[in-house]
Amino acid sequence: MKDRLGRTIEYLRISVTDRCNLRCIYCMPEEGVRWVPHGEILSFEEIEHLCRIFAPLGIRRVRITGGEPLVRLGLPSLIACLHNIDGIDEINLTTNGILFAPMAAELKDAGLHGINFSLDTLNPAVFQRITRTDRFQDARAGIDAALALGFAHVKVNCVPVRGINDGEIAAIAALALHHPLEVRFIEMMPIGCGKQFIPVSMQQAYEAVSAAYGSGTPYSGVLGNGPASYYSFPGFQGHVGFISAVTHEFCSQCNRIRLTAEGYLKLCLHYNRGIDLRQGLRAGLSDETLTAQIRAAILDKPDHHRFTADADAATLDQHTMNAIGG
């Protein structure tokens, strides 16, 4: 369906948990996180029920995220259920990859289409510094498992952090030289713990890659439904994408909405604005009523984020990114 600006909303990000097995410095505090109580998190049945309402409204692609989605027990069974819904063409996953390798085959059989792995470094010591854990090898094994099984899309997302991993940009891009995958650099967003960091611009990231491998050629093919600008670099098997949510806002092409683990339909990453679908579901509202509520909410989708402007803090989402889902 279209929002009031004529944007076609066809992509739903579903956070299945706010829990995570890492503590990335720009995403979550090390301690003192207040978890959403289990009873307030949508059950798989509730998520499936909502997806059966979203599909006729035009949602074609679903991305499962978190927190870390693979810490939620039984995730393959949810993917299999969503995969069977008429109208939903693709189920993708965003993960830190730690638990992926042992589950890879089961996830593929369940109908998982593509995976975005978040990996900010190839250096175990830097991994420890960013994620506050020593699970680098598990994360790296996840990517290898996905490549070995031939998933349709394998992407590696990296958030460069000034003074920590920004010297590794060319080395991380080289994953797309050696493997048929897309590497995407994502500008740090001033959300939650991310506010404490100065972003590395995507211009800088591009320059680091082109200094090492030669100039990139803009790639106009379709590599998913996100806002990355992709480039081909000489000799690369895959592509390298740059996502600058802050300096080059792409809100005018935004096609997405988000469902939080608590069942709140968020219309923009940056705003509170939305509706509590869990409350409606648990109050026994009919599918027709929920459909009407979702339609009305989508019409109210914010025009754009306010990362660079003064905004009324009360209207902005104050959650950390693990609770928003990225």
Q: Is 243 in the site for ligand SF4 (CB under 6 A)?
A: no
Q: Of 103-111, 132-140, 184-192, 279-287, which segment contacts ligand SAM by CB under 6 A?
A: 184-192
Question: Would you state the structure tokens that stand for residue 127, as one six-digit string?
Answer: 């991994």
Complete edge-to-edge strand list for the sheet that includes strand 264-266: 217-218, 229-232, 240-243, 182-186, 153-158, 114-118, 90-95, 61-65, 11-15, 256-259, 264-266, 274-276
Sign of CA dihedral 316, 255, 177, 117: positive
Provide the residue count of the chain: 326
Residue in 25, 27, 42, 175 binding ligand SAM, rule: CB under 6 A: 27
Nearer to ligand SAM, 95 or 255 (CB): 95
Q: Two tokens at 213?
A: 């491998």
226 lies in the site for ligand SF4, by CB under 6 A = no
Question: Looking at beta carbons, which residue is closest to ligand SAM?
Answer: 194
Q: Which does 28 bind (CB under 5 to 8 A by kind): ligand SAM, ligand SF4, none?
A: ligand SF4
Binding flag, residue 160, ligand SF4 (CB under 6 A): no
Question: Binding of ligand SAM at residue 165 (CB under 6 A)?
Answer: no
Residue 143 binds what, of ligand SF4, ligand SAM, none (CB under 5 to 8 Å, by partner type)?
none
Which CB, 202 or 294, lies closer to ligand SAM?
Answer: 202
Cβ pair 177, 233 in contact under 8 A: yes
224, 114 contact by CB (below 8 A): yes
Binding mask 86-105 for ligand SF4 (x = CB under 6 A): ----------x---------
Check residue 17 for interaction with ligand SAM (CB under 6 A). no
Site membership for ligand SF4, residue 317 (CB under 6 A): no
CA–CA separation, 149 vs 183, rounded Å?
Answer: 18
Site for ligand SF4 in 45-74 (CB under 6 A): 66-68
Q: Between 117 and 236, whose beta carbon lies closer to ligand SF4?
A: 117
Query: Are the beta carbons of 271 and 315 closer than 8 angstroms?
Result: yes
Question: How far is the C-alpha of 323 from the C-alpha of 325, rounded, in Å?
Answer: 6
How far apart, in Å, are the Cα atoms of 287 and each of 47, 219, 264, 294?
Answer: 13, 42, 16, 10
Q: Which residues bind ligand SAM (CB under 6 A)?
A: 20, 26-27, 65-66, 68, 94-96, 118, 157, 159, 186, 188-189, 191, 194, 321-322, 325-326
Q: Which residues bind ligand SF4 (CB under 6 A)?
A: 20, 22-24, 27-28, 66-68, 96, 118, 321-322
